Amino acid sequence: MSCFRHLCEEADIRCGVDEVSVHNLLPNYNTFMEFASVSNMMSTGRAALQKRVMALLRRIEHPTAGNTEAWEDTHA
């Protein structure tokens, strides 16, 4: 989950320098930010975490090979 936070931080830095919208560089930015915040849910239990991750994966608007693989692994 922390990887998503780092990815979003890098996108923020890059877009700040290039003056480009973060959504142009990282189309799923909002969903990735929510993934980063899910790491705080660890104390609520595994089932709640899995449900939240599944809900976030469903919200991906621009699927990538990595998103699709994560969806299939989580679904399995």
Dump pLDDT digits (tens) for 38-67. 866 666 778 888 888 888 888 888 888 887
- pTM for this model (two decimals): 0.73
Tell me, what's the pLDDT at 21? Answer: 87
Distance CA 9, CA 50 (A): 24
Is the distance from CB of 36 to CB of 15 less than 8 angstroms?
no
Tokens in use for 27? 């189309």
Distance CA 27, CA 24 (A): 6
Distance CA 19, CA 11 (A): 11
